[in-house]
Amino acid sequence: MIIQPKTRGFICTTAHPEGCRKIVSKSIEYAKAHKSECGAKKVLVIGSSMGYGLSSRIAAAYSSGAATIGIIFDKEGSEKKPASAGWYNTAAFEEFAHRDGLYAKTINGDAFSKEIKEQTIELIKNDLGKVDMVIYSLAAPRRTTADGTVYSSVLKTTEGNYTNKTIDLKDNSVKEVTIEPATEEEVLHTIKVMGGEDWMDWMDALKAADAIEKDAVTVAFSYLGPEITHPIYMNGSIGQAKKHLYETSKAISAKYSDIKAYISVNKALVTQSSSAIPVVPLYISLLFKVMKKNGTHEGCIEQMTRLFTDKLKAGSAVTDEGGMIRLDDLEMKDEIQAEVKKLWDEVNTENVKDLADIDGYWSDFFALFGFGAEGIDYEADTDPVYDIASLK
């Protein structure tokens, strides 16, 4: 079949197997060139199919030489329909890892569920004995808890209506958007989905099964951002969940004295999640323009490789005064933010293509799904079936 990008809202409903494979290969080559001495050798990545989760798995394997187990929740392809991008990314990663003599296996299912936790622990015990690092990188719109309750997250403010600029990704126009405040119940639901409760459940399960090493490290990902995005992000419903995630890092370290739990505050990048948040895509496109001009722009693999090479040390991490790893350090430099703020005040529909990196935004968006990779003929007939080796 000929596979072309098809978009609906802020998602792409198709993915290209050869494009995903090429992009994964490029990330691997970058990680190979940046060796880590953090000591991680047996790494579990919870949410490893795309974005920061996928890149952290690649960095663990190719910067640190680690065996990796990844957890995804993706659909395989058929003769009539492409697989999800996460499926293709994982199939490519396993192909390359096995070729290069690295252990890599994957579990496909709902990481929130007890069943997937049990399957993962069984695999760890059988193949690795114990893991020495756990990366928690789940980004899901809803969660079903053990008692069958379904919680759904929302992207709203918590301090009244908020109006600011945003970009309409349908036509790249700049317009005002007003975001309504979340109810107390919606905030609770968002915390249940995107907070730290499930992270703690994972750590409890791993400890109870004696499937995690003493002096292990666990890292969950977060974002803070500038004042421009604070009402919808840091002070919004999602921000309340991220605060809970931060408190959970402290709770894990307090509960288990032999485990060090950290929050890694990462840079704003194009992901399926960030594309859905009003205001944020416009900020990202302006940020890209400034950071590329400044020579400090990083993508997911550059961020995650720097996590393993610069921020994580054997048994510890380089943190700020609050105990958080700051991979957003380059984004949050005063001179970068001052220039972004200047452009934010000036940007409108007429000048957005001059002031913002719209092409870069869309390039990164389509790359999430394997489109736009160099050397791939997207007009060619392509087999949509690409097996994940460990799931055959």
For the whole model, what pTM was predicted?
0.96
Contact assessment for residue 369 and residue 324, using Cβ atoms and an 8 Å cutoff: no
> Given its phi and psi angles, is residue 89 left (phi above 0), alpha (psi -120 to 50 degrees) or beta?
alpha
**Residue 146: strand, helix, or coil:** coil
* Cα–Cα–Cα angle for 321, 223, 372, rounded to 5 degrees: 135
Question: Sign of the CA dihedral 47, 48, 51, 56?
Answer: positive
Chain segment 271-299, per-residue pLDDT in tens: 877 877 889 999 999 999 999 999 999 99
Question: Which amino acid makes up residue 86?
Answer: G
Strand, helix or coil for residue 259: strand
pLDDT digits (tens, 9 = 90+) for 205-220: 999 999 999 999 999 9
Residue 9: predicted pLDDT = 72
The CATH homologous superfamily for domain 7-391 is NAD(P)-binding Rossmann-like Domain (3.40.50.720)
pLDDT, the chain, mean: 95
Task: Please report the pLDDT score of residue 133 as a whole number.
Answer: 97
The residue length of the chain stands at 392
Q: How do residues 151-182 score in pLDDT, each as one tens digit? A: 999 999 998 899 999 998 888 899 999 999 99
What's the confidence (pLDDT) of residue 278? Answer: 84
Q: Which helix (H) or strand (E) holds 244?
A: helix 237-255
- Parallel, antiparallel or unpaired: strands 11-12 and 7-8: antiparallel
pLDDT computed for residue 164 by the predictor: 93
Task: Please list the rounded mean pLDDT of every run of 10 residues in the chain (392 residues).
Answer: 88 95 98 94 98 97 98 96 97 98 98 98 98 95 93 92 89 92 96 97 98 96 93 92 98 96 96 82 96 97 97 88 97 97 97 95 95 96 96 92
Q: Where are the domains of the chain?
A: 7-391
Known catalytic residues are: 233
Per-residue model confidence (pLDDT) at position 139: 87
Asked if 107 contacts 70 with a C-beta cutoff of 8 angstroms, the reply is: yes
> How confident is the model at residue 202, as a pLDDT?
98
